[in-house]
């Protein structure tokens, strides 16, 4: 809290984040920026990711009554949309959309948390600190994707009747009533991989660590990795699809499928979706 | 996956220790309570437990019959999560939600933890000693039971447990081993045998440019969904293949189709022949089929087909022209094609297209011949259950064993299975949890779950070569009073053939010996022990073999489809489509919270059953979402909530299977309805299998309604948002993508 | 020379002001206007014409409060943001100005109000002990004039008061 | 023409004072003390009825809160993503009501509108207690109420601070500032009256007042400081009051939720706040007037002035409300437009239309003098207006959360549970209880300022009469003949 600190580093503190070079292999600030690419054309809507997330992240099963009231705690959900101008039948199938926290670079949820329980980590994640959270739920109000889930009930006391609690993943907590939670890109796995890499004086290799949903996905529809590393698959895909993390309007060829959802709200999501393709002549 | 940080030597030691110590306790030789063992505090854990460090053990998923190789993440002696085993060609390192739920089966709060015996009308706990004594008394060598008086009902099984079971039946001189699966592929296999001469040809989804799927939900509930999903992903990559799905109710696969066509159930064969008719007009396809078939097909012109199938007439030509344009293609059929009285004919008609298009040998070929036919799976069938039911009804059985099936739940009510079962004097169930069938039994024995058990499996759909997936325990038994099914079977066999099996104190050693015997076939050169440990840590044994050559042959008699498949029925106007949910199947894992809370992909409904009804039909009957409906067939009535769903034929009503348990545990009991109950006795006439889709129902609105619990919000479109964007395939340049 | 106090109660302000006017014109030796205190149930700003402007220093406090508290507030907010390095927010600087200005504004009001109040208590010498020459009627409807004067001129003051028909005259130690 | 002094006096009164005839300028000052101090002693029986009823209501709220605390916020029937409900709506409403008290008092003080004097004290008290009530809602609303202090910027060994970028922290700061400043303003303005209480009380109460009055003697030096201080405070409080509700509005305006993200929210909220504050001042005016027999001080003309002010505020609010709709409609933002249409046609439509009727149409009744001067009608009307304003807040919070940007999570079926209603009802009990207790312990009409008011009226009259008498021509023009 010293004034000297303030004066010495003023320009650093005044720099808007993310700034060019914040995520850079050569700079000291951060060598990681986790990102995803999700191909909607090969996502089959099978929900394997959802269940994997339940298993990995200690998500409570809330039961029918509570599901009805909107208390479902699925950090990743599969949405199913019909076409707006559908005839008698949905003749071109349906649209599945796996929706999880988009780990926005300019996350609307982060700025509004009164206690700073949700912040931007150095590796570009939108973190959620359960211990700090007081449950004002402002983040959820401000989340355009509505992917934040609040613990309205004390699930630890009801959701895992013995011995189901033995299944719980000890790498992360179960959340008590009154805190907000959301997809973390399986930060417990990322941190483990990062520390392992650090002890070996290297960076995390591409594919060395993936979130549970990516790992489970039977069609490999989700690609995950460090977008800072130009050799990583996810960075190549973003580049190939001409989607720039820092732009709110992409200048890309119309044949390219990459896009980010609700980009016009300028949250700069870290998840790039790839458009569903339909053979219109079929 | 297995970069667990411990060195290889330790890892091997671990596996051995884990296995043998488990087997010892499994046999009851030593016990903590007897004082021969001491309790070790967790601060000084066993060698293979490194606190805070996860270890991955390879095993096999037993949640469905696909036999995916999986890895179990184990920490502090507890299995926490199932992952795919990358060494497995079936799973390819991936896993579905049903497989994930194996840990919920393991830690299920409603697991049966001790043997139960029926006293009066209720089940009371007894000790294993008493239970085994009772078993011996009723079925042992001294009981004098004859082979024909004994029946053994199992689900589909493969590998060495199946071998032991066969040997046991042999030792009893009994032929009454009934392999029953409620949702069996028996009709499909029969059609394949007729056309290709093999049970299951290999399908190359990835090689096809066009897949025309007649009701085959290969992504959700097919022979090997995880494998097919990976193949499908390749199929969708550049050059992107096109998927056409023709079915009465949109399945998950249908939801992914480029063109989805609703059809009256049972008329798929007619549609296929209609397409065949169009195709045969092209000169290049002349001579692909015999002349009598050309004749037979020629009467299926577009208008006739349209009249029978309820599909717009231009679509017949449209699909035909797609097939003509895009080669190679792959035409497959699924449950909704086969589950009719003329199911085999329907399926054969669909396969005819492959023959015309020359797909056989390109996208369809044979599987490799297995060098171990005794390990191959015994496919389940409904006719097995029917045969057993008849014998039970005739009081021919003194004792029956039931393992891996829940016929009281899945048998249609017209069979009277429950009553017939009650006639058997001594019924034994081997279960993880008390299901409807176990509730009826006299002795219920709690066995290990799949993650506590040793075993070997061979899937009936093999992607490449033959993959023997090894099942090893991912943790020690959770409850002291449960036992290994393998050990029980071995002991049962030993009771009759002690000499032949004396070399093996337990199933573990039996399996080990058996697996080591495979060594020469896979040309492994190291020691037996190394082979065993390598196998355990790989989780799979790949036996390479060239695919069998298959060729198709068709007889016109197999293509004579009934003209009245779409006959009007004034009392029961609707076709019942009992749809198979991809995570529920026949309902045996309904007691997992994860599965109950995993939304159905198409309707997003959770924790319930529902009746899908087309908006047009719903409007004409004044039905809105959530209205309670009475769906009645000649054999019963179900009360179920309506869900207005555009992806269904207006004349069809679809109710998902797997729910409606009266037992099984807190998550399943009383949830939804069981459509198995109201099925009519319609049988596939060639195989005698139950025609699952052959039931007609009436629908009545009760006037009550209730909220449908689902993930979907009040609207089901994107309301003008750019959430899922669709790109026309001719604009997309997938080949430029990475 | 000892000083003592005298207080006279009048029924209304006009009488009281007349009495003060007389006192002023009487030119008593050693009598200072500073020693005259008017006690009234309501505020009478007019009295300043007679007694001279009483100096009020409250606004000096206000000034300093409104100047320095926001400054300190801004520094407090900014430096705490700079030290809580775990909480960068996407799309924002660590020390973003618009929110800090909002807070600075609130600190400006806070400083102004608090320092004004403090200044009031200090300048009005509150809390204070009530002097003995206090009459409860002062808070109801009467006006009191309290004069501190040397004993020598005390009788003269009393005489002067008596001329204006006071309701009561009290004297003694304060 | 020669007139007697008395005749002139009457004429002057007719000519100059008529408009200001809201209070009888000839009340004895001693009687004022007596009348108002009597409110601390023996109110009408209705006081106890209100007090006991309020306490009972408060206990309902307390039991609901205990239940919610034990079980989790789920019992309130809030859900994802409909995470805010009546708590936030009622919070804004209470905050809003708190505005008129201090704002009005400060504004009218600066503008020398002396009719404020009989009513400002209870209005300021109302501000204090509404803020306390509102603060209670902030706590009740939290998922982990036991850790509410994380919002407070306090130094700790972990170097954690609240997130100063969050509008909620601005809120906390603004409300904290407003609450303490209002309390200071109220207290300093009350010191001369506390001295009166001290001079008249006996027993233990005297000790309390003795302590609270800080030895105030009403000396000219004290008064001089008092005047400057009070005016300075008023100058600070006016912008503060405006800033507080603007900041509360940024909770919404600064978010991305359609229906919240509206530029005109700060003035809109302030207007709504003043509006509902005025309405509650009228309500309390009538209640206090009856309960404590303040008919002579809280007169009908003052009520009329309040009513006119309310009407003006209502019109400002209506204008801003329509601006909000218009800018949403023409703004062509799909999300906001759909949310607006949903508000007007969806599940909440009856409440939304009722809100518009109560807020914009009903106030036109205030255009009629018969309405303005009829006490029972004004009581009902003021309560209805306030209900309309409460609906406004609810209609901002709930329908938009039910119908936000993301269609998959639209949630139309949420309805507050008895716990939410119970706590909302309990807040009324809590406020009434505190307010009634305050009026019983402290003078709810400022005695010294009423005296000042009378004094000014009388000196004004005296001056005018003197002018008239010395200037007969004016007297003729003044219409003595009429």
Judge if C71 and C108 occupy the same domain. Answer: yes
CA distance B31 to B38: 9
User: Is B725 close to A55, i.e. CB distance below 8 A?
Assistant: no
| Nearest chain A residue (CA) to D256 | A142
Please check whether residue C137 lies inside any domain of the structure.
Answer: no
Judge if C47 and C98 occupy the same domain. Answer: no
- What confidence tens digit (pLDDT) does each residue in B573-616 have? 999 999 999 899 889 999 999 999 999 999 999 999 999 999 99
User: Is C82 close to A268, i.e. CB distance below 8 A?
Assistant: no
Where do the structural domains in chain B lie, given as residue ranges?
A: 8-110+449-484+502-543, 116-183+375-446, 186-365, 568-705
Do A76 and A99 touch, CB atoms closer than 8 A?
yes
Q: Determine the residue among C71, C91, C98, C103 to mutate to test chain A binding: the one whose Cβ has the most chain A Cβ atoms within 10 Å.
A: C91
Q: Measure in Å the smallest separation between the Cα of D66 and chain C Cα atoms.
A: 33
The secondary element (H helix, E strand) that includes residue A273 is strand A271-274
Longest dimension (CA), chain A: 70
Judge if C50 and C65 occupy the same domain. Answer: no
Task: For residue B728, give both structure tokens.
Answer: 């026309």
Q: How far is CA C172 from CA A148, C2, C5, C29, C38, in A?
A: 76, 12, 6, 20, 17
- What confidence tens digit (pLDDT) does each residue in D432-447 have? 999 999 998 899 888 8
Q: Which residue in C81, C83, C90 is closest to A17 by CB distance? A: C90
Do B423 and B392 touch, CB atoms closer than 8 A?
yes
Do D337 and D329 touch, CB atoms closer than 8 A?
yes
Task: For residue C116, give both structure tokens.
Answer: 């004004």
Sole residue written with tokens 């080591």:
B516
DSSP code of B197?
Answer: S
User: Is C134 close to D217, i.e. CB distance below 8 A?
Assistant: yes
Contacts with B100 from chain A: Cβ below 8 Å:
48, 51-52, 54-55, 216
Contacts (Cβ under 8 Å, ≥6 apart) of D156: none
Please check whether residue C130 lies inside any domain of the structure.
Answer: no
Do C90 and A110 touch, CB atoms closer than 8 A?
yes
Contacts (Cβ under 8 Å, ≥6 apart) of B281: none
Contacts (Cβ under 8 Å, ≥6 apart) of D19: none
CA distance D432 to D426: 10
Judge if C11 and C32 occupy the same domain. Answer: yes
User: Is C89 close to A13, i.e. CB distance below 8 A?
Assistant: no
Residue B291: count of CB within 10 angstroms of its CB: 9
Contacts (Cβ under 8 Å, ≥6 apart) of A224: A34, A35, A36, A185, A210, A211, A214, A234
User: Is B96 close to A282, i.e. CB distance below 8 A?
Assistant: no
Q: Measure in Å the smallest separation between the Cα of A195 and chain D Cα atoms.
A: 23
- What confidence tens digit (pLDDT) does each residue in A199-230 have? 999 999 998 999 999 999 999 999 999 999 99
CA distance B473 to B451: 5
Contacts with B721 from chain D: Cβ below 8 Å:
334, 405-407
| Nearest chain D residue (CA) to C63 | D232
Q: Region B30-40: what's the mean pLDDT? A: 55
User: A163: cis peptide before it, omega within 30°?
Assistant: yes
Do B126 and B104 touch, CB atoms closer than 8 A?
no
Please give the span between the terminal C-alpha atoms of chain A, in angstroms, as a whole number. Answer: 66
Confidence of residue A232 (pLDDT cuts 50, 70, 90): very high
- What confidence tens digit (pLDDT) does each residue in B636-694 have? 999 999 999 999 999 999 999 999 999 999 999 999 999 999 999 999 989 999 999 98
User: Is A13 close to C95, i.e. CB distance below 8 A?
Assistant: yes
Judge if C149 and C118 occupy the same domain. Answer: no
A260 in reach of chain D (CB within 8 A)? no
Closest CA to A207 of A222, A219, A187: A222
Give start and end residues of each alpha helix (H) in D257-348: 265-291, 300-331, 334-345
Q: Which residues pair with B232 in a beta bridge?
A: none
Q: Name the neighbours of A, counting chains with at least 3 Cβ pairs within 8 A.
A: B, C, D
Judge if C26 and C50 occupy the same domain. Answer: yes
Write the CATH number of the domain with boundaries B116-183+375-446. 3.40.50.740
- What confidence tens digit (pLDDT) does each residue in D72-131 have? 999 998 888 889 999 999 999 999 888 888 888 888 888 888 788 888 889 999 999 999
Closest CA to B600 of B616, B617, B612: B612
Residue B23 phi/psi, 5-degree rounding, is -65, -35
| Nearest chain D residue (CA) to B723 | D406
DSSP B36-101: SS-PPPTTS--TT--TT--EEEEEE--SSTT--EEEEEEETTEEEEEEE-TT-TTTTT---HHHHT
Q: Which residue in C82, C90, C93 is closest to A105 by CB distance? A: C90
B706 in reach of chain D (CB within 8 A)? no
Pairing of strands A271-274, A34-39: parallel
Question: In CATH, which of 2.40.40.20, 3.10.50.40, 3.40.50.10090, 1.10.460.10 is domain B568-705?
Answer: 2.40.40.20
Residue B349 phi/psi, 5-degree rounding, is -60, -40
User: Is C79 close to A18, i.e. CB distance below 8 A?
Assistant: no
Closest CA to B218 of B521, B573, B553, B580: B580
Do A32 and A123 touch, CB atoms closer than 8 A?
yes
For A44, the 3-state DSSP assignment is coil
A111 in reach of chain D (CB within 8 A)? yes
D161 in reach of chain C (CB within 8 A)? yes
CA distance D357 to B62: 65
Confidence of residue B11 (pLDDT cuts 50, 70, 90): very low
Task: For residue D432, give both structure tokens.
Answer: 């009434």
The secondary element (H helix, E strand) that includes residue D235 is helix D220-253
Please check whether residue C166 lies inside any domain of the structure.
Answer: yes
Total domains present in chain C: 2
Judge if C73 and C108 occupy the same domain. Answer: yes
For A172, the 3-state DSSP assignment is coil
Residue B312: count of CB within 10 angstroms of its CB: 12
User: B667: cis peptide before it, omega within 30°?
Assistant: no
Contacts with C103 from chain D: Cβ below 8 Å:
164, 169-170, 173
Contacts with D409 from chain A: Cβ below 8 Å:
146
Which CATH fold would you assign to the domain B8-110+449-484+502-543? Answer: Phosphorylase Kinase; domain 1 (3.30.200)
- What confidence tens digit (pLDDT) does each residue in A7-66 have? 888 888 888 877 777 888 877 778 899 999 999 999 999 999 999 999 999 999 999 999
- Distance between alpha carbon B398 and the CA centroid of its chain, in Å? 30
Residue B195: count of CB within 10 angstroms of its CB: 26
| Nearest chain C residue (CA) to D212 | C127
A 134-163 residues with CB below 8 A of C?
Answer: none
Quick one: residue B661, left, alpha or beta (phi over 0 = left, psi -120 to 50 = alpha)?
A: beta
Q: Which residue in D174, D199, D214 is closest to C139 by CB distance? A: D199
Q: Which residue in D161, D181, D199 is closest to C113 by CB distance? A: D181
Judge if C88 and C119 occupy the same domain. Answer: yes
Residue B259: is its pLDDT beyond 70? yes
| Nearest chain D residue (CA) to A150 | D80
Please check whether residue C84 lies inside any domain of the structure.
Answer: yes
Q: Measure in Å the smallest separation between the Cα of D164 and chain C Cα atoms.
A: 7
User: Is D166 close to A132, i.e. CB distance below 8 A?
Assistant: no
Q: Measure in Å the smallest separation between the Cα of A9 and chain C Cα atoms.
A: 9
Task: For residue B534, give both structure tokens.
Answer: 């390598």
User: Is B594 close to A54, i.e. CB distance below 8 A?
Assistant: yes
Q: How far is CA B186 from CA B44, B248, B339, B616, in A?
A: 53, 21, 10, 35
User: Is A179 close to D74, i.e. CB distance below 8 A?
Assistant: no
Q: Measure in Å the smallest separation between the Cα of C75 and chain A Cα atoms.
A: 8
Q: What's the pLDDT at D63?
A: 95
DSSP code of B683?
Answer: B
- What confidence tens digit (pLDDT) does each residue in B241-250 have? 999 999 999 9
Pairing of strands B726-728, B696-705: unpaired
Please give the span between the terminal C-alpha atoms of chain B, in angstroms, as a whole number. Answer: 24
| Nearest chain C residue (CA) to A127 | C87
A7 in reach of chain C (CB within 8 A)? no
Closest CA to C99 of A257, D394, D254, B670: D254
Strands (E), B131-201: 150-154, 177-179
Judge if C76 and C116 occupy the same domain. Answer: yes
Residue B615: count of CB within 10 angstroms of its CB: 17
| Nearest chain D residue (CA) to A96 | D408
Domains observed in chain A: 24-84+93-274 (3.30.70.20)
User: Is C91 close to A105, i.e. CB distance below 8 A?
Assistant: yes
Do B149 and B399 touch, CB atoms closer than 8 A?
yes
Question: In CATH, which of 1.10.10.10, 3.40.50.10800, 3.40.228.10, 2.40.37.10 is domain B186-365?
Answer: 3.40.228.10
CA distance D452 to D230: 15
The count of C-alpha atoms lying within 13 angstroms of the C-alpha of A266, restricted to the half-sphere facing its C-beta, is: 6
For C172, the 3-state DSSP assignment is strand
- What confidence tens digit (pLDDT) does each residue in A127-177 have? 999 999 999 999 999 999 999 999 999 999 889 998 999 999 999 999 999
Do D319 and D312 touch, CB atoms closer than 8 A?
no
Q: Measure in Å the smallest separation between the Cα of A4 and chain B Cα atoms.
A: 42
Q: Measure in Å the smallest separation between the Cα of B250 and chain A Cα atoms.
A: 8
Q: Measure in Å the smallest separation between the Cα of C106 and chain D Cα atoms.
A: 6
Judge if C113 and C63 occupy the same domain. Answer: yes
- What confidence tens digit (pLDDT) does each residue in B211-235 have? 999 999 999 988 899 999 999 999 9
Q: Region C150-159: what's the mean pLDDT? A: 82
Contacts (Cβ under 8 Å, ≥6 apart) of B255: A44, A45, A80, A93, A94, A96, B601, B602, B647
| Nearest chain A residue (CA) to D138 | A136
Longest dimension (CA), chain B: 83
Closest CA to B451 of B467, B472, B436: B472
Q: How far is CA A160 from CA A124, A168, A169, B110, B446, in A?
A: 32, 9, 12, 12, 22
Domains observed in chain D: 35-145+167-456 (1.20.1630.10)
DSSP B560-581: ---TTTT---SSS-EEEEEEPP
Q: Determine the residue among C72, C85, C117, C136 to mutate to test chain D binding: the one whose Cβ has the most chain D Cβ atoms within 10 Å.
A: C117
Q: Determine the residue among C83, C85, C90, C96 to mutate to test chain A binding: the one whose Cβ has the most chain A Cβ atoms within 10 Å.
A: C90
User: B239: cis peptide before it, omega within 30°?
Assistant: yes
Sole residue written with tokens 């108002």:
D36
pLDDT in tens, chain D (482 residues): 455 666 776 776 666 655 556 777 778 888 888 888 888 887 888 899 999 999 999 999 999 999 999 999 999 988 888 899 999 999 999 998 888 888 888 888 888 887 888 888 899 999 999 999 998 999 999 999 999 999 888 888 888 889 999 999 998 899 999 999 999 999 999 999 999 888 888 888 888 898 998 888 888 888 889 989 999 999 999 899 899 989 999 989 988 888 888 888 999 999 999 999 999 999 999 999 998 888 888 888 889 989 999 999 999 999 999 999 999 899 888 899 999 999 999 889 999 999 999 999 999 999 998 889 899 999 999 999 999 999 999 999 999 889 989 999 998 888 899 999 999 999 999 999 999 999 988 998 888 888 888 888 888 778 877 777 776 555 444 444 43
DSSP D43-111: --HHHHHHHHHHHHHHHHHHHHHHHHHHH-GGGGT--SS----HHHHHHHHHHHHHHHHHHHHHHHHHT
Residue C84: give the domain boundaries: 58-123
DSSP D161-228: ---TTSHHHHHHHHHHHHHHHHHHHHHHHHHHHHHHHHHH--HHHHHHHHHHTTT---BHHHHHHHHH
């Amino acid at each position: 809290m010293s004034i000297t600190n303030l004066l010495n580093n003023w320009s650093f503190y005044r720099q808007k984040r993310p700034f060019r070079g914040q995520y850079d292999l050569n700079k000291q600030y951060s060598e990681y920026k986790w990102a995803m690419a999700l191909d909607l054309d090969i996502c089959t809507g099978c929900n394997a990711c959802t269940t994997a997330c339940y298993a990995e992240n200690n998500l409570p099963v809330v039961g029918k009554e509570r599901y009805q009231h909107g208390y479902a705690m699925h950090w990743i959900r599969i949405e199913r949309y019909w076409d707006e101008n559908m005839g008698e039948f949905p003749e071109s199938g349906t649209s599945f959309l796996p929706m999880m926290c988009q780990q926005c670079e300019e996350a609307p949820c982060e700025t509004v948390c009164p206690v700073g329980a949700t912040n931007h980590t150095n590796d570009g994640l939108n973190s959620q600190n359960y211990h700090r959270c007081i449950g004002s739920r402002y983040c959820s109000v401000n989340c355009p994707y509505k992917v934040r889930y609040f613990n309205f009930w004390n699930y630890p006391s009801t959701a895992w009747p013995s011995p189901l609690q033995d299944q719980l993943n000890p790498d992360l907590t179960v959340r008590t009533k009154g805190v907000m939670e959301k997809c973390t890109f399986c930060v417990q796995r990322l941190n483990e991989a990062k520390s392992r890499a650090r002890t070996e004086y290297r960076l995390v290799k591409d594919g060395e660590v993936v979130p549970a949903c990516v790992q489970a996905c039977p069609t490999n529809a989700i690609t995950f990795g460090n977008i800072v590393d130009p050799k990583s698959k996810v960075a190549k895909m973003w580049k190939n699809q001409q989607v720039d993390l820092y732009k709110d309007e992409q200048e890309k060829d119309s044949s390219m499928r990459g896009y980010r959802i609700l980009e016009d709200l300028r949250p700069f999501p870290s998840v790039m979706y790839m458009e569903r393709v339909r053979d219109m002549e079929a | 996956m297995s970069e667990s940080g411990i060195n290889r030597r330790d890892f091997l030691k671990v596996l051995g220790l884990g296995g043998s110590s488990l087997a010892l306790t499994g046999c009851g030789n030593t016990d903590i309570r007897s004082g021969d063992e001491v309790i070790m505090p967790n601060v000084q854990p066993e060698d293979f437990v490194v606190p805070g460090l996860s270890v991955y053990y390879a095993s096999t998923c037993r949640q469905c019959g696909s036999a995916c190789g999986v890895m179990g993440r184990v920490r502090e002696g507890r299995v926490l999560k199932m992952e795919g085993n990358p060494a497995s060609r079936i799973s390819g390192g991936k896993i579905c939600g049903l497989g994930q739920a194996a840990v919920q089966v393991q830690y299920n709060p409603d697991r049966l933890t001790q043997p139960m015996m029926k006293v009066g009308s209720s089940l009371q706990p007894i000790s294993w000693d008493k239970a085994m004594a009772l078993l011996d008394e009723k079925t042992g060598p001294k009981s004098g039971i004859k082979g024909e008086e004994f029946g053994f009902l199992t689900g589909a099984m493969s590998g060495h447990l199946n071998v032991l079971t066969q040997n046991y039946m042999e030792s009893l001189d009994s032929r009454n081993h009934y392999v029953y699966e409620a949702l069996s592929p028996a009709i499909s296999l029969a059609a394949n045998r007729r056309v290709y001469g093999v049970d299951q040809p290999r399908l190359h989804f990835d090689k096809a440019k066009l897949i025309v799927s007649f009701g085959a939900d290969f992504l959700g509930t097919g022979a090997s969904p995880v494998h097919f999903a990976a193949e499908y992903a390749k199929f969708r990559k550049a050059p992107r293949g096109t998927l056409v799905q023709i079915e009465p109710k949109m399945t998950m696969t249908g939801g992914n189709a480029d063109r989805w066509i609703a059809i009256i159930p049972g008329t798929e064969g007619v549609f296929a022949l209609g397409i065949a008719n169009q195709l045969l007009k092209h000169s290049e396809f002349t001579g692909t089929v015999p002349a009598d078939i050309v004749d037979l097909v020629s009467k299926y012109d577009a208008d006739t087909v349209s009249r029978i199938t309820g599909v717009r007439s231009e679509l017949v030509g449209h699909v035909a022209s797609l097939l003509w344009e895009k080669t190679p293609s792959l035409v497959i059929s699924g449950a909704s094609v086969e589950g009719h009285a003329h199911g085999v004919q329907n399926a054969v008609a669909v396969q005819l297209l492959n023959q015309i298009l020359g797909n056989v040998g390109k996208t369809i070929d044979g599987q490799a011949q297995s060098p171990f036919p005794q390990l191959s799976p015994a496919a389940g069938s409904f006719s097995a259950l029917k045969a057993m039911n008849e014998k039970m009804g005739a009081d021919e059985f003194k004792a029956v064993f039931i393992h891996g099936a829940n016929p009281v739940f899945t048998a249609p009510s017209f069979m009277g299975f429950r009553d017939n079962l009650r006639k058997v004097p001594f019924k034994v169930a081997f279960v993880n949890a008390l299901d409807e069938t176990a509730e009826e039994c006299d002795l219920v024995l709690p066995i290990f779950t799949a993650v506590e058990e040793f075993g070997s499996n061979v899937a009936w759909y093999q992607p490449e070569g033959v993959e023997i997936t090894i099942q090893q325990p991912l943790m020690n038994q959770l409850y002291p009073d449960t036992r290994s099914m393998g050990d029980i079977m071995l002991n049962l066999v030993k009771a009759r053939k002690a000499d032949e099996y004396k070399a093996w104190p337990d199933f573990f050693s039996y399996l080990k010996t058996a697996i080591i015997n495979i060594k020469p076939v896979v040309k492994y050169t190291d020691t037996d022990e190394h082979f065993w440990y390598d196998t355990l840590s790989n989780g799979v044994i790949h036996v390479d073999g060239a695919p069998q050559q298959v060729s198709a042959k068709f007889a016109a008699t197999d293509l004579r489809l009934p003209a009245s498949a779409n006959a009007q029925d004034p009392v029961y106007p609707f076709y019942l489509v009992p749809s198979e949910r991809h995570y529920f199947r026949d309902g045996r894992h309904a007691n997992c919270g994860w599965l109950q809370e995993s939304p159905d992909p198409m309707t997003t409904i959770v924790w319930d059953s529902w009746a899908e009804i087309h908006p047009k039909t719903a409007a004409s009957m004044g039905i809105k979402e959530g209205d309670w409906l009475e769906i009645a067939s000649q054999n019963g009535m179900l009360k179920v909530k309506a869900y207005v769903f555009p992806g269904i034929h207006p004349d069809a009503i679809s109710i998902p299977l797997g729910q409606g348990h009266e037992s099984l545990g807190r998550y399943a009991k009383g949830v939804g309805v069981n459509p198995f109950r109201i099925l009519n006795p319609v049988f596939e006439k060639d195989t005698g299998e139950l025609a699952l889709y052959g039931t007609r129902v009436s629908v009545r609105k009760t006037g009550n309604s209730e909220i449908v619990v689902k993930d979907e919000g009040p609207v089901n479109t994107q309301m003008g948002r750019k959430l899922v964007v669709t790109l026309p395939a001719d604009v997309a340049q997938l080949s430029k993508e990475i | 020379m000892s000083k003592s106090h005298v207080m006279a109660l009048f029924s209304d302000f006009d009488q009281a002001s007349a009495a003060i006017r007389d006192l002023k014109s009487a030119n008593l030796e050693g009598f200072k206007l500073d020693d005259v205190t008017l006690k009234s149930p309501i505020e009478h700003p007019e009295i300043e014409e007679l007694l001279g402007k009483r100096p009020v220093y409250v606004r000096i406090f206000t000034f300093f409060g409104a100047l320095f508290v926001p400054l300190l507030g801004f520094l407090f907010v900014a430096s705490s943001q700079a030290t809580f390095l775990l909480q960068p927010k996407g799309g924002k600087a660590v020390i973003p100005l618009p929110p800090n200005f909002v807070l600075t504004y609130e600190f400006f009001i806070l400083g102004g109000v608090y320092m004004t109040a403090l200044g009031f208590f200090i300048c009005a010498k509150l809390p204070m002990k009530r002097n003995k020459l206090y009459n409860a009627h002062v808070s109801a409807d009467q006006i009191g004039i309290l004069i501190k004067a040397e004993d020598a001129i005390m009788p003269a003051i009393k005489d002067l008061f008596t001329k204006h028909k006071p309701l009561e005259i009290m004297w003694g130690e304060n | 023409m020669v007139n007697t002094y008395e005749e002139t006096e009457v004429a002057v009164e007719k000519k100059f004072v008529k408009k200001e005839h809201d209070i009888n300028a000839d009340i004895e000052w001693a009687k004022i003390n007596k009348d108002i101090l009597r409110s601390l002693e023996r109110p009408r029986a209705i006081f106890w009825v209100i007090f006991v009823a309020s306490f009972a209501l408060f206990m309902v709220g307390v039991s609901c809160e205990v239940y919610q605390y034990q079980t989790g916020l789920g019992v309130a029937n809030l859900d994802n993503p409909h995470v805010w409900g009546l708590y936030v709506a009622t919070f804004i409403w209470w905050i809003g009501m708190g505005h008129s008290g201090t704002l009005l008092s400060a504004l009218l003080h600066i503008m020398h509108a002396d009719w404020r004097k009989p009513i400002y004290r209870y209005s300021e008290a109302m501000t204090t207690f509404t803020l306390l009530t509102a603060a209670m809602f902030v706590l009740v609303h939290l998922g982990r109420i036991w850790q509410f202090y994380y919002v407070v910027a306090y130094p700790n060994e972990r170097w954690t601070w609240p997130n100063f970028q969050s509008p909620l922290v601005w809120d906390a700061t603004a409300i904290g500032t407003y609450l303490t400043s209002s309390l200071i303003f109220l207290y300093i303005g009350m010191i001369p009256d506390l001295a009166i209480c001290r001079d008249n009380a006996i027993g233990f109460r005297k000790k309390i007042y003795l302590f609270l009055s800080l030895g105030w003697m009403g000396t000219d030096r004290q008064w001089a400081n008092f005047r400057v201080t009070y005016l300075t405070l008023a100058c600070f409080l006016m912008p503060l009051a405006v800033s507080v509700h603007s900041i509360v509005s940024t909770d919404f305006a600064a978010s991305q939720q359609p229906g919240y993200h509206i530029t005109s929210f700060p003035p809109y909220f302030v207007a709504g706040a003043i509006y509902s504050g005025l309405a509650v001042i009228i309500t309390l005016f009538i209640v206090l007037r009856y309960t404590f027999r303040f008919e002579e001080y809280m007169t009908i003309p003052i009520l009329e002035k309040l009513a006119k002010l309310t009407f003006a505020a209502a019109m400002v609010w209506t204008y801003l409300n329509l601006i909000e709709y218009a800018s949403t409609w023409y703004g062509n933002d799909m999300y906001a437009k759909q949310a607006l249409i949903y508000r007007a046609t969806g599940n909440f439509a009856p409440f939304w239309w009722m809100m518009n009727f109560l807020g914009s149409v009903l106030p036109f009744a205030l255009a009629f003098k018969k309405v303005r001067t009829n006490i029972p009608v004004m009581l009902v009307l003021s309560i209805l207006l306030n209900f309309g304003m409460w609906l406004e807040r609810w209609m901002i919070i709930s329908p938009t959360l039910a119908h936000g940007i993301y269609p998959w999570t639209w949630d139309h079926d949420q309805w507050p549970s008895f716990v939410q209603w119970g706590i909302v009802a309990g807040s009324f009990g809590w406020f009434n209880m505190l307010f009634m207790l305050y009026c019983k312990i402290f003078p709810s009409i400022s005695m010294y300022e009423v005296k000042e008011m009378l004094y000014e009226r009388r000196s004004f009259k005296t001056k005018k009469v003197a002018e008239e008498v010395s200037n007969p021509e004016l007297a003729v023009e003044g219409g003595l003949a009429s």
